[in-house]
Amino acid sequence: MSAALIGVDWGTSNLRVMRIAQGGAVLDSRSDPRGAGGLTPDRFRDVLNDVAGGWLDESLPVLVSGMAGARGRWREMAYAPCPAGVDELARAVARPDDAAFVALVPGVAAYRDGRLNDVMRGEETQVVGLDAPADAVVVAPGTHSKWIRTAAGRIVDFRTFMTGELFAAVRQATILGADMGEPGADDAAFADGVRRGLADPAITATLFSVRIEGLAGRLSAAASADYLSGLLIGAEVAAQADASHRPVILIGAEALSRRYAAALALGGFDDVAIADGAAATARGLWRIHKACS
């Protein structure tokens, strides 16, 4: 099957280039560690040529979402204000330089009382690639988790939680990380942490419970990373409890999405689905491309 679009998901620390068919299906995909976070503006074209290799062809459009459009990267793209759907994103697509066949998707910004309140780059493309029910919440867990409220396929508001990055910082730079194992080993410790995080949103205080549970012999060093992960994810779910009646669609790495699904169930969310994030990105790029044409 021949490609109709080259789609690029350029994250901070990773790059994925896809051959995309009419309709948005992924035909082939290549990954590379040259994320946008480490590239100066003049390097993007060379890296893309290198990774996409023989896929590039002047007759085939290339559409890029993610951090290539961040300040100091390929070209700083504006943020489309909420509410934003395929049409609003397509209207703001722009070329990074004089390459006639490459274009970047804008980010999206949320405002509160007229003030900038949050931003995203990349997740907007995934959201418009989903076939989400009306009034859903799309949750993109990770370093910076996003909770994205949608209505009729458009992003109406969202909030970022630095859960993954805080988890890493606590492990790396506090006394709690000293003897800590890897997460993923102990589902019961994870659930204990989630329940604690749901019940008490004061993270600076509940963090100390990692130490207390260890001291009391109720938490092993091997299980403490799961408990800590649960604490932070539980507090995140608690902060979004007002969305518990909405359908939730998780679009993260599979293991992480499954952990979030478990935390959401403990938090009273009963309509939770896990979607394929890479497929959503490709379909979103295709839909934005079509709306540009």
Assess contact for 153 and 249: CB atoms under 8 A: no
Handedness of CA 246, 24, 33, 181 (dihedral sign): positive
Angle between helical axes of 224-239 and 208-215 (0-180°, round to 10): 140
* Minimum CB distance to a copy of itself smaller for 62 or for 138: 138
Which stretches of the chain bind a copy of itself, using CB under 8 A? 115-119, 144-145, 159-163, 165-166, 168-170, 172-175, 201-205, 207-208, 212, 215-216, 218, 232, 235-236, 238-239
Question: Tokens 């074209």 belong to which residue?
Answer: 45
How far, in Å, are 144, 264, 265, 278, 290 from residue 244 at the CA level?
A: 21, 8, 10, 25, 34
Q: How far is the CB of 133 from a copy of itself (least distance, A)?
A: 25
Q: How far is the CB of 202 from a copy of itself (least distance, A)?
A: 4
* Minimum CB distance to a copy of itself smaller for 63 or for 224: 224
Residue 46 CB neighbours (<10 A): 11
Helices (H) and strands (E) in the chain, counts: 10, 13
* Minimum CB distance to a copy of itself smaller for 170 or for 266: 170
d(CA 74, CA 67): 9
* Minimum CB distance to a copy of itself smaller for 92 or for 282: 92
Q: How far is the CB of 130 from a copy of itself (least distance, A)?
A: 23
Q: How far is the CB of 103 from a copy of itself (least distance, A)?
A: 23
d(CA 241, CA 162): 17
Q: How far is the CB of 139 from a copy of itself (least distance, A)?
A: 13
* Minimum CB distance to a copy of itself smaller for 209 or for 281: 209
* Minimum CB distance to a copy of itself smaller for 175 or for 253: 175
Could you tell me how many residues make up the chain? Answer: 293
Q: How far is the CB of 249 from a copy of itself (least distance, A)?
A: 20
* DSSP helix/strand/coil, 211: helix
